[in-house]
Amino acid sequence: MKTNLMLTVLVGAFVSVQAYAQTTPPTADNRAERRERMAASTPEQRAERQTAQMKTQLALTAEQEKSVAAINLKYAQEAQKMMTSGDRNRGMMKQARETMEAKDGELKAVLSKDQYQQYVTMRDEQRNRMREGRGPRNNR
């Protein structure tokens, strides 16, 4: 009886470990789904999500939150225009980079020095995660 119980426990543990090992990391399909969800969201939704994340991670005051929300909405709307244009050339990439630099400048004026440094760190970490998710690229 003891042996049967022990054998049952061992088999159960083995099966649960195997089931846990079968979980898959994010695949290209998952990334595509996430990208589609992002494209389907409105600029207002994206700005709200960004503002909420910044509020918690940067401990924004109520006044800062209002200013940051307006900045995020402004640039989410500009990004939407760029996404819907369909152009993916160097000129569009340059425009996107300039837009992001302008956004950073506006945020720097609203945030404290420490908050802005935290924002830069947060932004850079997100960029690195995005680059890792793309995998190796064949640059010409």
Q: Specify burial of residue 101 (Cβ count, 10 A radius: 0-12, 13-18, 19+).
A: exposed
19-73 confidence digits (pLDDT tens): 555 555 555 566 667 667 766 789 999 999 999 999 999 999 999 999 999 999 9
Please state the pTM of the whole predicted model.
0.67
> Can you tell me the distance from the alpha carbon of 60 to that of 92, in angstroms, rounded to the nearest whole number?
32
75-114 confidence digits (pLDDT tens): 999 988 887 877 777 888 888 899 999 999 999 999 999 9
Output b/e per residue, 60-86; b: 16+ Cβ within 10 A: beeebbebbbebbbbbbebbbeeeeee
Instruction: Tell me how many helices (H) and strands (E) the chain has.
Output: 6, 0
